[in-house]
Structure 1
Amino acid sequence: MEAVAEVGGATLAWSAPAQEGGSPITGYRVDSEPQEATLSVQLEGTTARVTGLHAGVTYRFSVAAVNVVGAGPATSSAAVTLPDVPGAPALLSARRGDAKVEVTWKEPASDGGRPITGYLVTAHPQGVRVKAEAEARSAVVGGLTNGEPSTFTVRAVNAVGEGLDSPASARVVPATVPSAPTEVKATAAIREATVTWSEPTSTGGLPVEEYVVTVEPGGTRLREGAEARSATVTGLSNGTEYTFTVTARNEVGEGSGASASRQRTLNVPLAPGAVKATGGVRSATVSWEAPAGDGGSAIIGYTVEVHPTGTSVRVGAEQREVTLPELPSTRAYTFTVSATNAVGTGAVSSASSAVRPLPAPVQVTALTVPSTQEGCLSISYTLRQQDGERADVIVEVDAKGDGAFQRVTQAGSTDHEGLLARATSPAGAPHRFLWNRAVDVPGATSARVRVSARVGRTGQDSRTVALSLPAAGPRCEQRMDTGRVSTTLAHPRSGTVGDFDRDGKLDLAIVQQPNSSALVLLMGLGNGGFQPARQHELGSFLSANTQPVAADLDGDGSPELIWADMSSGLSVARGLGNGAFDTVRAYRFGFSSWNENMHQGVAVADFDRNGTPDVAAVAGDGTLGLLFNQGDGTLGDFKPLGLMGSSGARLTLADLDEDGHPDLLAAGSGAAFAVLSNGEGPSRIQQVEGAFLTHDQALGDFDKDGHVDLITAASRDNTTQLSLFRGDGLGGFSVAERVATLQDDTFFWEHASLAAADLDGDGQLDLAVKVEADNTLALLRGLGDGTFAPGPRLPAGRRPYFVTAGDFDGDGVSDVATLQQASDDVRVWLGGPGRTTQALLTGPGSHFATGDFNGDGWTDAVTSTGPELDQVGVSLGGPGGLSPRPAVAVGSLVHELLVARVDADAALDVVVVRGSTDETVGLLLGNGDGTLRPGPDLSPGGVVIHADAGDVNGDGRLDLVFLTLRGEDDFYLHEVRLLLGRGDGTFAPPVVLSAGDSPTRALLGDLDHNGTLDLVVPQDSYGQVTKVLMGRGDGTFTDGPSLMLGYDVYLDELRLADLDHDGFLDAVYSVHGAGMPYSLYVMKGTGSGQFVRVGTYPAEGNCSSLDVVDFDKDGWRDVLCANPGMDSVSLLRGVGQGVLAPAQVFGVYEYAAVNLAVLDANGDGLLDLLLGSGLGLFGKTALLLQR
């Protein structure tokens, strides 16, 4: 028998009995031990299902078979125990949550004999039950109320049923974090904010322990107690937007936050805007606009700061403008403005544009003018100005007393100042100006002199003094009706104008050819002339194709020299104010390039309006750029603006679009560009339309329409072509109009050169253009409508190359200067009414001699005339000018004319030395009315080269001395021959004098002051010996002392005159030597026939024709010489005791300076000059009138 326990019962199985007892078995009886009243048995065959048992009880079952007889013996099973409910689980924990508790447990020690099928968790006293799977060891009991305490039990469940409850847990209160606080608000203040709130709607089931205030940005957390309802957050940044979040914390933790609307802390104001400054007299008025934001706090004031001084002024909140006084006008200033509120002072505004205050007016003080008869008067005056600003000065004279003042003529001087940019001081700076009174008011007995001064655009101050004028004495300098010439020591190529020694007079800095590291400097004298040229070593290579620019970059009153060089950079030589320059500073940029035309790719202007000049330059690759001034004269880096198409582009400055800012015109081969500035620097580039070729250019209002026009000059096809581009006032130009074409012999690569200025004082811009074909300066007179009338051609030396303009004589009118490469000189033509409006006067004939041929007291000129110069005629002098009389044919070309009285009448006669191999000399007898008649020819016995006349034998009759050339045995002999006069126009046969082997001249003069004429005969010999023959008074001579000039010189001309007023004749030699410029030797006569050299003076020309005469009528003889190779005449004024002043040189047309004569040609009491070439049809003559 077997028994199998089951839930609530058992299943029994057995085998039928082996014997039925003779009666069929009718059933079976099943019993249990212990017996149960509830026992129920369900039989089915030999099995039974027993129920009604108790779980967990151990039972033994017995079965007995039953038949009709009864129950047989019982068979018992083994004991079996029925399955039970599980034991009680072990409760491990109960953890609270939000309206829930999480319960954890351990499975029971007994599963009751059947697998646990689940667990049942019960919350007490709520009775909330939660089922869990058999595998679970925890469960969450939800549906609880936060803050309401509960205990929890767990029972296990198996097939039998629910087991026992675990022991109850400790009391657990469900809870969560608090909800967000309510009514969170924030109020910002200065670097802090106050945050307020109300308690949360839910504390989460537990009391709130604290509140947390979080600040973003920054993450700062402030903790406040449970009772707090506000907090103050400090240490915040000004003007920063913050978010303030408040959370509540309980035992569970920190709840969600509630944020106030974003709040911005109070800030300093924003920067004021639109800061502008306007200069006043030593002041500036600054205006501004209020800041766009006040930072949340009302503005309480503004601070205006001055830069670079750092001074400041505070003004009230309502002001938007303030005037700052006591600003020295010697520099520019910028201004910034900042606003202040309760928080503090805000950001500084952008700086205003630089403004230079207007200077205080200058005062002219202590004016004195001496009342003497000097031809030039030294005017002394004092200039007082608060900031020491330099002032331009005007000196005027009213000679008639009618109040009509005229500018005076400035005399050249190295000891006096000019009128440009004169120094001032608060105490008064003294100055001296040399007035050429003899030119301006030669006959006035009284005059009023006025000195006026002005600084910039301020009002002009004047002081006037009245003076009595004694009769004018001799002139202190001579002024001729032609251009002044100054030699340059080198081949000049280009130049620039500036007052490099700060003496108030314009100077010239000249670039020479070939390329060199030295400049040629010519310091201006103030009268259109210059001091002797000198070389100045720069220590830096200067291309001959470079045209420098002079500008004061560092504001010290001394211009710097600025040029673009071939090594693709910019060079700046700082001016020292004494006519010298400091070491060159280089600014490198771009690429190197060679351009055969003149390169002036530099312009200087205050492009950014900060009060200091900046530099625009064209690099070697044609790129235009700016180098901004750093405020101390140094320049910043090269800032490219655009490609101008040519490394040889020239830059010219003007306000092309009429906005008050300096613009650029960049023009080269093929293209031109207008580069327009906006006050911060060039900002817009536009091309000038049309085909473009230029070698030089000028900007100005040539058609008087108020707009800037462009004139270009280009060399092409042996012409110089001048074109006009009319400006439209917007930076644009019309198509080109050809305004002039000048025939020239230049080649395409030879650059044209021009200057534009009002040269004749009529208010219209004129043009001056060099013409190399005939070595002239062509003037074209502006008509004011963009057209030009042909003007005179002025002599311009040999091979004029460069033209520029400037006020070289300080009279307020532009002058024009040309540089000549072949004659190595500078020529200045003074501008003004009547000065450059007519060509140089031409004189009569070519060879000259002078005398009074009609007895009217005026000196006349006898000249060679006619196409072949084979006629001789007299031009009568006097107030009407030279008046030619009929000429007389002399048979051949004239070589020399000598005026003498060879017959018994009172009329002057003329000895004509012919320029032929004829061994005769012509004689023209005077008729006493200015006409001549042929006389008998003379036969000196050879070809005459030179003649002189005088009473050699003391018989009262004029004798003639000739230097002759005679052929003998294939040699030519130079001889001196004497022809004694008979007083009737005839002469005794010639006598050969023993005058050396190679005489070159023969001059008569009483060397020993004994009343008899002696003879001075220079020799063409080694050592340049001069032989002296002492006259006996009977027509014979004895040898006197010889004079040796030196072995390194060559004699050109010789004249005798008493230069030192000691009663003895002195000698003036014109000499030159290898490597030695032409010079004048002054030899003092001792009275014994001997001479001692006492002075050597540069002739400033290749002196060929020499004259010694009191040209300026000061009582001392002066020296004049014609310079044929340089087309000029030099005047060296005698200043007493045989001393000569430096040469003044005046220009004439080419080949006109061979022969020279001196006379008063127009009867004005001033001596004038006649010059001629002696070349017939191909020669030129000139009449230079003294002004």
Structure 2
Amino acid sequence: MSLWFTWIGLAVAVEPNAPQDVEAAWGVPRDTPAWAALALDLDGDGLIELATVTHAPMYYGRMGADQRFTAAQDSPWGEQTADRHGMTACDVDRDGDFELIVASGGARGRGGNPAELWERIDGKWVNLGPDLFGVTGGARMRGVSCVDLDGDGDAELYFPAVGDPSPDMLLFRDANGRWTDEAEARGLSPSGDSVGGSFGDLNGDGRLDLVRLMDNKAQVLLQGPDGRFEPAQTQPDQSRVRDFALFDVDNDGDDDLWLARAWDAWDAARDGYAQLHLNKQDRDEVIWKLPKGCNAVQVRLQGTADGAELELLTMDGPIKVQGRMLASERFGSRPEGETGLYGWVDVEQRLLHIEAVGMQGGLFLGLACKDSDAVPKLISADIDPVKKELDVGDVLLINDGTGAFRPAPYSLPPEIQGYNTEGVLPFDRDLDGDLDLLLITGFSPGDVTNGPDFLLDNKGGGEFVLAPVWAMPPEEAPLEGHVGVVTDLNGDRYGDTIVFNGHHTKTLAGEAVSWQNPGGGGQWVEVRVFDAGGKARSLSAVVTVAPDAAPKQERLSNPSPGWRSNGNLAGVFGVGASKRIIVTVTWPDGETVTKRFVKPNTVVNVTHP
């Protein structure tokens, strides 16, 4: 049974939809968390599977004929709760079926188990990772990407990693089926912590380049003729980047870069409990205002850190898990030290400072007045020590065609500024040929307790406005949004969304929400590209779609290009009101196939000759 069907596009008015309870809408448990998510047909039965991984119990559900998900009995993980920080679907053995590749996250500063490779054998998911991916054992991975880097038709796997040391891994498979790590030989051994990995030809030389997060900044690496990656001469200099999207925002044939940025601390519920992201390369500071009558503060610490002990150093001695600080001269100065977590009180201004230097990780802080019912108020988060202001706000960078990225020549919507953007997902929500954006926000330290997610429409050329079809409810459910997935849940080729709570903790608990695209009058063409023989989906062919009434578009053929989120729309191109489309596919070996007079709302299969 297949959920896909062909339909006739009509120019119709659509009403705005608000995000809704994901359990009521699709049957997915509302408390489902995720660090990575997939929503596509994994087992080839025509039905969508939804899979999430995190450090909490994972979810694996299958959509039925009633378009609702139910927990599948053949879940790869069962009730396991091991820490997992990345997942992708990839046909690694090139037999035409997806395998699941899962990155191990490690726990509390330690490395994790080897990466997982789940293959369906006799109708069951079997983990072949311990035997095949032994080289990955002990690494703290932060994502996984499947790509064909050298154009030979085989899949390579890229695992970014954090910790000390930080061994990013790039696995190649030899003729005997053995996986070997070539990251160091190809210039991908980082000097810091790296997260994520998106591939594309950034400078037009026909080779795939890489963008990853390195110590909370985007790093651009260009692949040379020898297969080595070298940092581009011009690098984005924005810090505090939490996620990024590499996509062609202006349809000029070059991938551009959206940087999702976030403040480094927030007290979501205004209850004295806050989360602080620790960045090794800069100073992270949060400041609370002590209310009148609050002269003794109970401090609680919980979290993970690399680079120093997780203890708060004060002039009165260290606080390891919990302890007390006083609004007195006894705590009135910062302890000496170049690396660590430091706390002190400005008695005159009644400001309690906590500063992290040279530390990487995440920290939960709880402050409670011991002699008052009042609550300390978080008043600043990671103030720039030079500008004395918060350095926040998402950034859109345009590729000049050489792999150098510069700020877009127009302003981003003012409504999105001042929020912690944790995730960004490009998709053509109205099928007009321009890629739009879903922005996923976490809690914000401003006046809004629950940061709303945003859907942005691309007006063409990369100028974004708030989408009129996205309506926010008067009161959004508490949601520490972390990752989402865009997929077609009802078979109309319009992208629907699910946004998951990332942490699954009491302090930052939230419910997953979904948004159903109301559709409209746009049309589409879906291009599926296969290697010679027509079995395995091509990973690095260039697909060019030229409609007669919509922008010309170009993408890689990879059906699962994301490093932590993939849906079933990677090969779907919006063509607006076009009547005829030209589809051209070019493989790395130079072979090209062109199909002319393609009609809208059809699936086109293109096989390497």
TM-score, normalised by the number of residues in structure 2: 0.44
Higher relative contact order structure (alpha carbons within 8 Å, sequence separation ≥ 6): 2
Task: Write 1 or 2 for the structure with the bigger share of strand.
Answer: 1
